[in-house]
């Protein structure tokens, strides 16, 4: 609480300074372009034309795109469709092409581009003034060109850039016409007329703020710029109202672009909705920041909150796997990657306005495209000069929360194995009930998957491209994740209001030993009366070919519960060491909370003290070894029940079910070993190196695990549960043997 107050004070002071800085400015004598492109910048670009391959290629690509559209002619249809439908896609293409055509006009000085932009803007001027609300009613904030204000805002963010580029090409009369009939009403509709969309801390609002701010900067309209930075004056929303996704509209009354930087980003640059939505919000954050930097350099927007915008790009790039695909935390669609155009913006801006990190140049090279502005030119020149170095991703712990005190996300990396461990906040309306869950990757392939979202973004046939009901009934539920579900009920009872109040807590994170990357966190609120502490380590032991994952989930409860603990393995079952019954008909595992979507393909009991399970995925063998009790049920599940429209994938899991347990501990190792090639048909190293794991001590203060390899080499891992600080000295005796060490854990 003390920290929060201090922070509020800081913010008030900062806002005061901003207001002082802004007040005396004379906005009337602007030159154009000045928003993203600048007069000086354009001159520099023109001089380099034909000399910088990456820039020239990007220019040619865009030129081709725009030429095709010019040849097709202008179409601004009466709005009608959801995303995926014709009118939606047409208007979307239009704004993208308008922005590009504007840039081409500036760089190539060919009037045909300016004319194209002008003509299309006049079409929009004629259209917009006739438009009622968009006919589709599903959105909590309907747009006019599109079914939601969000997409209208996208339009304005792009189109304000186009307008800036041809500003001087237009007569004053033309400008007045556009500003009066199109831009100002447009900005008002997405802000004043739609406060439930605009007046919040949310990625939607960031788009709205940027849209209003950018057109405000071009039109030199201080009122719009202020509305962008600080929200609509005097508007306060009901703090209990919710949006389409079930998120609070505006719980704390904050609004505006600066609040949207302040709140969702942690000091490490982690965005509370996760990388998929950060990627989506990245463009308006950065493009408006670039515009503010150009038009209002005195704002020092890139230094705001200790430079969090640029830090967030680094965080985002680190939230991607070896192929550059973002980890699908929360409602993330798999396959989204740093090849998305928003990341071209992010990489170029981060390079140019940041510390010229040569690692970014290697990503830009992979992207094969740069922005057609100062930042893109700088990147292209860097690549041309061979300044690029590999962008090396190491283990990283990213705090969550405005002050970095609300849990976080840790990514452990050891050789080619990557673990993503989530102990963060609810993650806004896009969050899942997945406390202490994880996913595991090898070279960009999933070993243990996070399901992601249940949605086919922009595929009209699938619910208009919007969230499907299975997103709520399955994807958000705890059982859809690699963590504990207690008594077949999701964390926080699956209630957003409750989940939003809490976050997990970091116990410790330590990446100093290159052989052992480790993180530990606890969760005390997901199930009242139950405390979970999970420790995950990627350990490279010389006796085992690749780093393995050691996973210790320790549960303390005040009553007996049932714990379900699934492993969403990716691949085909190779071998098990337990017997199970296979039903001839498949029935669902449960009635609610996601269980209704799981079929039972097999059911057995752990037969020995270790349960073993191996699979083949992406040409590699994986083995899971679990220290189980003989009473543990083992359930093989298959997703897809109660899914008449085939919205869910038919993915498999192995689940341990432990009934009537109070305190309990789940310990397992997942090992990647060997591989199989269908070309050589040779299977190498197809069996696990782990013979046995056992819990030799589990007290309040210490948990000790004995690991025996198939070559009978024995290792001990001991965890200091209650005093995990780096400096703490520990000494204990287990089975007549003394162990002493300094720090959070012992491994030898």
| 322 is a contact residue toward a second copy (CB under 8 A) | no
| 339 is a contact residue toward a second copy (CB under 8 A) | yes
Judge whether 430 counts as a catalytic residue: yes
Q: How many residues bind a second copy (CB under 8 A)?
A: 55
Torsional sign, CA 438, 442, 447, 452: positive
| 716 is a contact residue toward a second copy (CB under 8 A) | no
| 334 is a contact residue toward a second copy (CB under 8 A) | yes
How remote is the C-alpha of 673 from its chain's centroid? Answer: 30
| 711 is a contact residue toward a second copy (CB under 8 A) | no
In the list 584, 660, 735, 738, the residue contacting a second copy (rule: CB under 8 A) is: 584
- End-to-end, the C-alpha distance of the chain in Å comes to 41
Catalytic member of 277, 438, 502, 595: 277
Catalytic member of 430, 481, 503, 673: 430
Torsional sign, CA 70, 71, 76, 81: negative
Count CB atoms within 10 A of the CB of residue 558.
Answer: 11
Torsional sign, CA 179, 181, 183, 184: positive
Prior bond of 33 cis (ω within 30°): yes
Judge whether 277 counts as a catalytic residue: yes
Q: Which stretch binds a second copy (CB under 8 A): 22-30, 54-62, 219-227, 570-578?
A: 570-578
Q: Which stretch binds a second copy (CB under 8 A): 72-80, 232-240, 674-682, 722-730?
A: 674-682
| 514 is a contact residue toward a second copy (CB under 8 A) | no
Q: Which stretch binds a second copy (CB under 8 A): 177-185, 211-219, 409-417, 584-592?
A: 584-592
Alpha carbon distance 327, 337 (integer Å): 9
Going through 487-578 in order, the beta strands assigned E by DSSP cover: 505-513, 516-527, 530-539, 548-557, 561-567, 572-576
Quick check: 403 and 3 in contact, CB under 8 A?
Answer: yes
Least Å from the CB of residue 684 to a second copy: 8
| 51 is a contact residue toward a second copy (CB under 8 A) | no
| 574 is a contact residue toward a second copy (CB under 8 A) | yes
**Residue 504 three-state SS:** coil
| 460 is a contact residue toward a second copy (CB under 8 A) | yes
Least Å from the CB of residue 113 to a second copy: 23
| 679 is a contact residue toward a second copy (CB under 8 A) | yes
From residue 57, give the alpha-carbon distance in Å to each of 64, 348, 367, 370: 11, 15, 12, 9
Contacts of 489 (CB under 8 A, 6+ apart): 478, 527, 593
Nearer to a second copy, 96 or 289 (CB): 96
Least Å from the CB of residue 191 to a second copy: 26
| 678 is a contact residue toward a second copy (CB under 8 A) | yes
Nearer to a second copy, 196 or 593 (CB): 593
In the list 333, 556, 562, 708, the residue contacting a second copy (rule: CB under 8 A) is: 333
Count CB atoms within 10 A of the CB of residue 631.
Answer: 12
| 586 is a contact residue toward a second copy (CB under 8 A) | yes
Nearer to a second copy, 137 or 461 (CB): 461
| 381 is a contact residue toward a second copy (CB under 8 A) | no
Q: For helices 86-108 and 149-166, give the axis angle rounded to 10 degrees.
A: 20
| 710 is a contact residue toward a second copy (CB under 8 A) | no
Q: Which stretch binds a second copy (CB under 8 A): 31-39, 166-174, 641-649, 697-705?
A: 641-649
Nearer to a second copy, 270 or 569 (CB): 569
In the list 90, 112, 115, 462, the residue contacting a second copy (rule: CB under 8 A) is: 462
Give the x-and-dash track for 601-640 against a second copy (CB under 8 A).
xx-----------x-x---------------------x-x
Alpha carbon distance 170, 47 (integer Å): 25
| 577 is a contact residue toward a second copy (CB under 8 A) | no
Contacts of 31 (CB under 8 A, 6+ apart): 39
| 590 is a contact residue toward a second copy (CB under 8 A) | no
For residue 635, the surrounding DSSP H or E stretch is: strand 633-639
| 739 is a contact residue toward a second copy (CB under 8 A) | no
Contacts of 286 (CB under 8 A, 6+ apart): 309, 313, 345, 346, 349
List the Cα angle 668/670/676 in 5-degree steps: 155
From residue 671, give the alpha-carbon distance in Å to each of 166, 443, 510, 657, 744: 59, 14, 21, 22, 23
Q: Which residues are catalytic?
A: 277, 430
Which chain residues interact with a second copy by CB under 8 A? 84, 89, 333-337, 339-341, 456-462, 465, 572-575, 580, 582, 584-588, 599, 601-602, 614, 616, 638, 640-646, 649-650, 652, 676-683, 686-687
């Amino acid at each position: 609480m003390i920290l929060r107050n201090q922070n509020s004070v800081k913010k008030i002071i900062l806002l005061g300074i901003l207001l002082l800085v802004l007040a005396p400015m004379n906005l009337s004598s602007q030159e154009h372009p000045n928003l993203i492109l600048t007069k000086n910048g354009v001159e520099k670009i023109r001089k380099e034309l034909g000399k910088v391959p990456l820039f020239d290629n990007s220019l040619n690509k865009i030129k081709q795109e725009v030429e095709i559209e010019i040849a097709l002619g202008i179409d601004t249809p009466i709005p009608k469709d959801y995303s995926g439908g014709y009118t939606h896609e047409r208007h979307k293409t239009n704004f993208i092409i308008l922005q590009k055509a504007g840039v081409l006009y500036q760089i190539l000085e060919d009037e045909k581009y300016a004319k194209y932009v002008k003509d299309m803007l006049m079409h929009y001027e004629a259209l917009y003034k006739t438009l009622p609300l968009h006919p589709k009613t599903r959105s909590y904030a309907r747009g006019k060109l599109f079914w939601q204000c969000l997409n209208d805002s996208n339009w304005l963010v792009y189109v304000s850039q186009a307008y800036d580029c041809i500003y001087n090409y237009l007569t004053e009369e033309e400008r007045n016409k556009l500003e009066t009939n199109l831009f100002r009403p447009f900005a008002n509709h997405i802000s004043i007329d739609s406060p439930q969309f605009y007046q919040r801390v949310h990625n939607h609002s960031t788009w709205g703020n940027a849209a209003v701010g950018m057109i405000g900067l071009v039109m030199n309209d201080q009122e719009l710029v202020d509305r962008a930075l600080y929200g609509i004056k005097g508007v306060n929303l009901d703090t209990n109202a919710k949006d389409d996704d079930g998120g609070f509209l505006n719980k704390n009354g904050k609004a505006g672009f600066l609040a949207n930087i302040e709140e969702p980003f942690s000091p490490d640059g982690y965005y509370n909705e996760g990388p998929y939505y950060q990627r989506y919000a990245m463009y308006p954050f950065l493009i408006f920041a670039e515009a503010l930097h150009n038009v209002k350099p005195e704002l020092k927007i890139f230094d705001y909150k200790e430079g969090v915008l640029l830090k967030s790009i680094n965080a985002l790039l680190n939230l991607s796997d070896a192929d550059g695909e973002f980890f699908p935390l929360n409602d993330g669609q798999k396959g989204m990657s740093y090849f998305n155009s928003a990341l071209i913006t992010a990489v170029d801006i981060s390079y140019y306005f940041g510390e010229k990190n040569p690692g970014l140049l290697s990503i830009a090279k992979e992207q094969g495209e740069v922005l057609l502005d100062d930042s893109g030119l700088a990147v292209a020149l860097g690549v041309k000069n061979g300044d690029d170095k590999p962008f090396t991703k190491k283990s990283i712990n990213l705090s969550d929360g405005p002050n970095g005190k609300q849990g976080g996300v840790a990514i452990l990396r050891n050789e080619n194995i990557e673990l993503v461990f989530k102990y963060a906040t609810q993650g806004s309306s896009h969050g899942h009930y997945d406390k202490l869950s994880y996913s595991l990757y090898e070279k960009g392939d999933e070993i243990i998957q996070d399901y992601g979202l249940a949605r086919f973004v922009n595929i009209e046939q699938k619910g208009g491209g919007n969230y499907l009901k299975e997103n709520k009934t399955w994807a958000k539920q705890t059982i859809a994740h690699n963590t504990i579900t207690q008594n077949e009920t999701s964390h926080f009872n699956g209630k957003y209001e409750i989940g939003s109040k809490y976050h997990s807590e970091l116990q410790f994170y330590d990446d100093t030993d290159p052989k052992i990357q480790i993180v530990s966190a606890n969760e005390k609120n997901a199930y009242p009366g139950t405390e979970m502490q999970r420790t995950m380590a990627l350990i490279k032991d010389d006796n085992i070919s690749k780093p393995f994952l050691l996973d210790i989930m320790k549960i303390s409860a005040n009553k007996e519960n049932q714990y379900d603990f699934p492993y969403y393995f990716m691949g085909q079952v190779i071998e098990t060491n337990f017997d199970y019954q296979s039903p001839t008909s498949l029935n669902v595992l449960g009635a609610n909370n996601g269980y209704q979507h799981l079929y039972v393909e097999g059911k057995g009991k752990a037969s020995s003290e270790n349960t073993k399970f191996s699979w083949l995925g992406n040409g590699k063998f994986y083995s899971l070894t679990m220290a189980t009790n003989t009473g543990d049920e083992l359930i093989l599940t298959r997703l897809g029940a109660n899914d008449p429209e085939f919205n869910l994938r038919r993915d498999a899991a192995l689940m341990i079910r432990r009934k009537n347990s109070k305190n309990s501990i789940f310990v397992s190792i997942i090992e990647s070993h060997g591989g199989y090639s269908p070309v050589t048909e040779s299977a190498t190293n197809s069996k696990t190196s782990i013979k046995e794991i056992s819990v030799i001590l589990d007290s309040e203060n210490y948990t000790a695990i004995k690991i025996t390899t198939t070559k009978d080499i024995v290792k001990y891992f001991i965890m200091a549960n209650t005093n995990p600080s780096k400096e703490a000295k520990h000494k204990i005796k287990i089975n007549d043997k003394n162990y002493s060490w300094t720090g959070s854990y012992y491994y030898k």
